[in-house]
């Protein structure tokens, strides 16, 4: 039945377009939803008295997505041949039609010779006639999959959790990788809850894998829930489950004064960092000294105070230490550096400490 359908398309093309021939072949006319099919298209020039060029592609549609995976061209004189290969994923079940765009460009030898006679400073346009070619659609009968299916294809799931014991607001890091053959699109497998907060980067998607990186933090003990992905392999027609088991995370409390973000753990009076009073006193002295101290002496004293804070920045040995120091300055000029440090401390991003210090010195 499939072969007869393809023969009909080829014969129809020859009858409608006597100067070209074209054929389609697919490896599966009754795929499951989101199961890949391979489409091969061959277009050949029959009228060898003309110069031809071809433009071909499936039409965009909400019913399917496609990717061109191969292309070959045989551009012999007046005998052009194109071979295309596409991977197509139907996105809905039922009967769908794959439609095509094709343009045949016809010109003459004289026009081609004139166009290529120009140099880079005198490019000449090719005089041609663009002719739209109407191609019959390719029809598929797509089978449904189970409603709760997360993955269509043959996939494996792996993960690493760096630790199961941590300190308050010190994140644990979860790395997850999904790899295999089949339909892939970005999605999240971990979300924040009332018990913990999830810091997530955008999933990294390739043609055969998705990688997630999560940083999860909390004030108290919490449980990372079990993750279950329901898969279906259309080749074997078998369902399967990919599982990340639940993990209990023990969180040890720490003195809240050592934390950068204390919003979730208000300080008692004995834990309050009173160092800001010293900074305030210093600024008052600087202000009054402008009136009572000779200008040259005041300038040398002020520069010494500034260099003292710069020295503290230079001596900071960790991202968290530098973040605490810059926050204590309450200065807007460190806003960008603070944002970068928060991405490292809370999101687990990799930005070198020396690089951030260079930004501060600019």
Query: Residue-wise pLDDT tens for the chain (362 aa)?
Result: 333 333 333 333 333 457 888 899 999 999 999 999 999 999 999 988 888 888 999 999 999 999 999 999 888 878 899 999 999 999 999 999 999 999 988 887 777 666 666 554 444 556 678 889 889 999 999 999 999 999 999 999 999 999 999 998 889 999 999 999 999 999 999 999 999 999 888 899 988 999 999 999 999 999 999 999 999 999 999 999 999 999 999 999 876 555 554 444 433 334 444 444 555 555 565 555 555 555 555 455 445 544 577 878 888 888 888 877 877 666 778 878 887 887 787 667 788 888 888 888 77
CATH of the structural domain 151-252, one choice from 2.60.40, 1.10.3470, 3.40.630, 3.40.50 = 2.60.40
Alpha carbon distance 57, 68 (integer Å)? 9
| CATH class of this structure's domain 2-142 | mainly beta
96, HSE (Cβ side, Cα atoms, 13 Å): 24
Q: Cα–Cα distances in Å, from 319 out to 262, 272, 323, 351?
A: 17, 22, 6, 9
- Cβ(49)–Cβ(22) under 8 Å? no
Taking the domains of the chain in order of start, what are their residue ranges? 2-142, 151-252, 256-361
């Amino acid at each position: 039945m499939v072969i007869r359908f393809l023969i009909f398309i080829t014969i129809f093309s020859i009858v409608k377009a006597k100067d070209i021939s074209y054929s389609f072949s697919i490896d599966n006319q009754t795929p499951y939803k989101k199961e890949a099919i391979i489409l091969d298209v061959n277009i050949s020039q029959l009228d060898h008295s003309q110069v031809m060029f071809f433009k071909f592609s499936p039409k965009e549609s909400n019913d399917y997505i496609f990717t061109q995976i191969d292309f070959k061209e045989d551009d012999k004189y007046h005998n052009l041949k194109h071979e295309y290969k596409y991977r197509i994923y139907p996105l809905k079940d039922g009967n769908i039609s794959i439609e095509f765009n094709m343009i045949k460009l016809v010109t003459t030898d004289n026009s081609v010779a004139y166009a290529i006679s120009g140099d880079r400073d005198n490019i000449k346009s090719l005089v041609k006639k663009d002719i739209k070619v109407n191609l019959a659609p390719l029809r598929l009968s797509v089978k449904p999959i189970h409603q709760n299916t997360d993955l269509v294809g043959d996939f494996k799931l792996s993960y690493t959790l760096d630790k199961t014991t941590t300190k308050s607001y010190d994140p644990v890091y979860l790395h997850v990788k999904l790899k295999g053959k089949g339909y892939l699109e970005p999605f999240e497998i971990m979300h924040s809850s009332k018990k913990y907060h999830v810091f997530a980067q955008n999933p990294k998607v390739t043609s055969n894998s998705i990688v997630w990186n999560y940083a999860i933090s909390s004030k108290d003990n919490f449980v990372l829930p079990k993750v279950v992905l329901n898969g279906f392999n259309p080749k074997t027609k078998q369902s399967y489950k990919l599982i990340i088991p639940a993990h209990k995370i023990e969180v040890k409390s720490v003195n809240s004064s050592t934390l950068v973000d204390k919003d979730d753990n208000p300080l008692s009076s004995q834990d309050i960092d009173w160092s800001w009073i010293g900074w305030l006193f210093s600024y008052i002295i600087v202000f009054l000294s402008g009136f009572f101290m000779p200008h040259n002496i005041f300038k040398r004293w002020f520069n010494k105070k500034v260099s003292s804070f710069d020295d503290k920045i230079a001596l900071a040995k960790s991202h968290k230490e530098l973040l605490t120091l810059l926050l204590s300055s309450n200065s807007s000029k460190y806003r960008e550096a603070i944002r970068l440090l928060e991405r490292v401390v809370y999101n687990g991003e990799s930005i070198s400490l020396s690089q951030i210090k260079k930004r501060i010195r600019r």
